[in-house]
Chains A and B, each alone.
Chain A
């Protein structure tokens, strides 16, 4: 059976009655205790997204708090250096807080207020989801708790400090691999026990269906801006324009692509290939992982034959996740997007080159997407256009970069 994407319907709504995309991705594989809170949130969100007053409120905060639109710039030096396609960047890292995670965090806090909840909890890998949620929680007067793997707490220090400064408490997660996958599990377990008083903000387009929906709906702001900016720059959407985005959980890519779904723009997702020659990659789409259930949803996931979730390794904490959004699984199987991976080394090289040549300095996550742009551009014509979502700033990776490259440049 070949899967198809329907035109004119938001991708997040293309599921069946069991909330499955293409009949096999997503769903709600959750304990009974979460059934009602998730139903409540689902109902509230479907009401709010049609509510003009709520939309005005969202737009107000996106404009005055997040800062819209984020810049769309041509990377002249990089394009000249590589030869071939013209390379552009959507500098989402200019958003308040320094990454795309602010959109989802802001919307979740607005929803929590509508739901009358006083507490909000969230998971984080790179620390951006946690930083933004703690920022937004402070802004909207919610008490906030962030679950973060102990390994990530060590390697993403600047964001950890920001979370603390915002008055949120950090819960270090010491189970399993001590990275994002365990932080998400621990955060969900916390919600199982506290959903009467607390709202959950899952940090990416993963988890039970409603969290995928809210997150993708929030990050869609990126492509709402971009489609206008592209039309202003080129007069129309250039044919076969390539939109490159890194994918871990997949929230920034979903937001970057959403408004272009029914156009002929090409979508290329870049997963974390891990250290060169390592088998512990974090690239379930590229490396042919099987469908399994992780954190409440069916998706391509790194696992063993038995169904135990596999370990991953990546230099970028934000991509270091064994699963991937069911939406991306759907885009892959419908062939609407294609997926590839970049290694740790390639991402570091890309970071170095972009930071040296341009006025932007992408974090290690979008550096994976830049690595693919660097590979692709020389093979293309000068009429071809590549746009990379520079969805995070390298400042948070200062320690890792210094350690790996000897110096931090930007």
Chain B
């Protein structure tokens, strides 16, 4: 059976537009609000990435660190993350949801236990930031057995040979990191250059769905819209931070921001 992730990419291709992927952190700024955010922005977004926060992230910039910190300060636990996913999926059964985070939480939870929880709550895919290829083969296979998409990452530093191996072992979606940066860095490479690298990867296997993330904002998203998918994360976390500062409702703020982002890639 085709995965929900694969289906959504097909649909977007038919509509001649990239898939819009959003990243928000579970429990930011509260459990309830993060669920409301998912429910609201899923009107515009095609795939929802949900971060399970870790307090010692080695690849996240300030914005996502801030969101994670807020969530953890509120006492968010992994079981809450699955509860949020479950509630979201009850309302939006066809909307793909991807969990993203660091391996230690899975390691402590137990790989099998974690994946059972994923399955039970309706998670469609996993991105594990610090479990690179080929070390991730075992876990990726476990995901596959449960029909959960394991998303491999490729970065500008990945050599061609390695890229080929990663792509060969990849599932329904691959994530290309736009530049040398933690999440949310200023885009220091031109969209043209990013797309040039993107095409190189696509050429290896044109059938694979390749999304671009890191440093994308409303300013740069339309210049990248020839990709299969585009991920916006830090900009959304920043929106939550700012709306809390201004005592505004983060849910309605994010609704607007994601709506605007969507319009820029149509």
Contacts and interface: CB of A to CB of B under 8 A. Distances in A.
B258 interface: no
Interface stretch (B3-11, B22-30, B105-113): B105-113
A193 B185 contact: yes
Given A192-B180, A193-B180, A193-B185, A37 B157 contact: yes
Given A185-B56, A188-B58, A189-B58, A35 B132 contact: yes
B180 A194 contact: yes
Contacts of B72: 308
B242 to A, nearest CB: 19
Interface of B: 54-61, 65, 69, 72, 77-78, 102-109, 129-133, 135, 153-159, 162, 177, 180-182, 185
A31 B101 CA distance: 11
Given A29-B130, A192-B182, 6 more contacts: A33-B155, A35-B157, A36-B159, A188-B58, A193-B181, A308-B56
A293 to B, nearest CB: 4
Nearest to B154: A32
B56 A36 contact: no
Interface in A29-52: 29-37
A185 B104 CA distance: 15
Contacts of B60: 189
Task: Kindly state the interface size class of chain A when it binds its partner.
Answer: 35 or more
A195 interface: yes
Nearest to B101: A307
Interface string A195-232: 11000000000000000000000000000000000000
A36 B132 CA distance: 11
A330 to B, nearest CB: 18
A308 B131 contact: no
B56 A32 contact: no
B180 A36 contact: no
A309 B105 CA distance: 10
Contacts of A307: 54, 104-109
Contacts of A194: 180
B55 A33 contact: no
A189 B181 CA distance: 8
B157 A308 contact: no
Contacts of A192: 58-59, 180-182
B102 to A, nearest CB: 8
A292 B129 CA distance: 15
Q: Which 7 A-B pairs have the closest CB atoms?
A: A307-B108, A36-B157, A33-B155, A293-B104, A307-B104, A31-B59, A32-B153
Interface string A86-103: 000000000000000000
Contact of A29 (B61, B103, B185): B103
A195 B107 contact: no
Interface string A299-318: 00001011111000000000
A195 B59 CA distance: 13
B157 A292 contact: no
Contacts of B153: 31-32
B180 A195 contact: yes
A36 B135 contact: no
17 contacts: A18-B135, A31-B129, A31-B153, A32-B177, A33-B156, A33-B157, A36-B162, A196-B180, A293-B104, A293-B130, A294-B56, A296-B58, A306-B77, A306-B109, A307-B109, A308-B55, A308-B56
A32 B104 CA distance: 16
A296 to B, nearest CB: 7
A181 B107 CA distance: 20
A24 to B, nearest CB: 11
